[in-house]
Amino acid sequence: MLLKADASKFKLGFLWWILEPLMWVGVFYVVFNLILDSRRGGDFLVFLTCGKFAFIWFSKTVIQASNSIVASQGLVGKINMPKSIWPMSAIQESLYRQSTVYLLLFVILAFFGNYPSLTWLWLAPVWLVMYLMIVAAGLAGSFLVCLLRDFQKFIVLGMTFLLFTSGVFWDVRDLGSEEKTQLLLSVNPLAFMLDAHRQILMHDTAPAAGHLLMIGLGASVLIGLMLYLMRRYNHFLALKVIT
């Protein structure tokens, strides 16, 4: 119902679920392949699509989840419910949208000759860890925004920072140094997740399972911590939102 209501705000409705990520990819392709003349052709278009589609899932969902509680302050002040319900609702809505986006990604991959293989089964744990990262960041963001609305600005700025440092439009494996590549993949979990998408879908290569597991465990710990804090300070958060 919420998805239908959201789509009804726009003339093209549900088509925007597909058009928006395509337009983002188109903008990056024009800038980096045509204007800056990188000359990578179709391979660069697939490269961009894999990275940008995954990045949009993370960035848009975290921003929406972070603002979800304060955006519902009228309801928050009237109903005593766990505050985690609002960011989780936003995260689940985004998950439904993303399933459509990934179907589009598979069509684009097939068009450029990238067909499914057994390695693609690795997408299941990659998506699971990506989802855990989004939940962890979304819960943390919503908690911080309740405490201080200014965090809305920092979260948006943080997503811009991640856009330029996670290898959305450049390859983390082209840094010219294996040490730099491994350092970036270690300190920036999102960069690792985008690279994992490309390794699986473009190069038929499995991601580093140990690294993937560590990111998943770290996200799970943060989720547990945020759920505990939101439950313990449930009434305090409500007061912060309505005042």
Containing structural domain, residue 234: 41-242
In a domain, 36, yes or no: no
Percent of the chain surpassing pLDDT 90:
61
Using CA atoms, how far apart are residues 172 and 115, in angstroms rounded to an integer?
Answer: 24
In a domain, 84, yes or no: yes
Angle at 196 between CA 111 and CA 21, to 5 degrees: 50
Asked if 123 and 53 touch (Cβ cutoff 8 Å), the reply is no
* Confidence (pLDDT) at 45: 86
Angle at 185 between CA 222 and CA 177, to 5 degrees: 160
At 175-212, the pLDDT tens digits run 888 899 999 999 999 999 999 999 999 999 999 999 99
At 110-123, the pLDDT tens digits run 998 899 999 999 99
Distance of CA 57 to the CA centre of its chain: 3
At 138-166, the pLDDT tens digits run 999 999 999 999 999 999 999 999 999 99
- Which single residue is written with the structure tokens 């290898």? 167
Domain count of the fold of the chain: 1
Using CA atoms, how far apart are residues 169 and 155, in angstroms rounded to an integer?
Answer: 21
> Among 56-60, 100-104, 125-129, which is the least confidently predicted range?
100-104
* Confidence (pLDDT) at 82: 87
In a domain, 21, yes or no: no
Q: What is the 3-state secondary structure (H, E, C) of the chain?
A: CHHHHHHCCCCCHHHHHHHHHHHHHHHHHHHHHHHCCCCCHHHHHHHHHHHHHHHHHHHHHHHHHHHHHHHCHHHHHHCCCCCCHHHHHHHHHHHHHHHHHHHHHHHHHHHCCCCCCHHHHHHHHHHHHHHHHHHHHHHHHHHHHHHCCCHHHHHHHHHHHHHHHCCCCCCHHHCCCHHHHHHHHHHCHHHHHHHHHHHHHCCCCCCCHHHHHHHHHHHHHHHHHHHHHHHHCHHHHHHHHHC
The token duo for 41 is: 């052709």
In a domain, 69, yes or no: yes
At 14-25, the pLDDT tens digits run 676 677 777 777
Select the more confidently predicted residue: 70 or 43: 70
As a whole number of Å, the end-to-end CA separation of the chain is 30
In a domain, 91, yes or no: yes
In a domain, 24, yes or no: no
pTM above 0.85, yes or no: yes
In a domain, 170, yes or no: yes
